Amino acid sequence: MQHGHSHFRKSLRARSQVSQIPESLRSDDLLDEIEDWCSHGARKDCSPKTLDMRRRIAAQLDWFLTSREFKKCGEREIGAFLDHVKNGHMEPGGRWGLGGSCSKCLREVTRSTRHTYFTYLRAFFNWLLERRKIAASPFEFLESCGPTREKPDPFQPEHVVAMLAQCARTVAPCRNRCIIYLIYDTGIRREELAGIRISDIDMRQRLIRVRGKGDKTRLVAFGNEAKQAIYECLAERGNDLEHEHLIVGVGGHRPGDPMTGDGIYTAFRQIAEFAGINLKKMSPHVMRHSFAVEFLAGGAQELQLMEQLGHTNLEMTKVYVKIGGAKLSEQHRRFSPGDALKEKKKGRPRQS
Close Cβ partners of 343 (under 8 Å, ≥ 6 residues apart)? 349, 350, 351
CB proximity list for 143: less than 8 A, separation 6 or greater: none
If we measure between CA atoms, which residue out of 160, 296, 289 comes closest to residue 226? 160
Catalytic residue among 117, 181, 265, 320: 320
Is 285 a known active-site residue? yes
- CA 292/CA 290 separation, integer angstroms: 5
User: Does the annotation count 189 as an active-site position?
Assistant: yes
Question: Minimal CA–CA distance to 272: which of 152, 187, 156, 191?
Answer: 156
| Per-residue buried b or exposed e for 14-30, using 16+ beta carbons within 10 Å of the residue's own CB | eeeeeeeebebbebeeb
> What is the spatial distance between Cα 88 and Cα 99, in angstroms, rounded to a whole number?
12
Catalytic residue among 213, 218, 227, 237: 213
Residue 181 designated active-site: no
Q: What is the phi/psi pair of residue 249, to 5°?
A: -75, 160
- The end-to-end CA distance of the chain, in Å, is 85
Active site residue 206: no
Catalytic residue among 54, 177, 189, 245: 189
**Which member of 115, 285, 318, 327 is catalytic?**
285
Which member of 54, 114, 177, 288 is catalytic? 288
For residue 209, the Cα-to-chain-centroid distance in whole angstroms is: 19
Which positions are catalytic? 189, 213, 285, 288, 311, 320
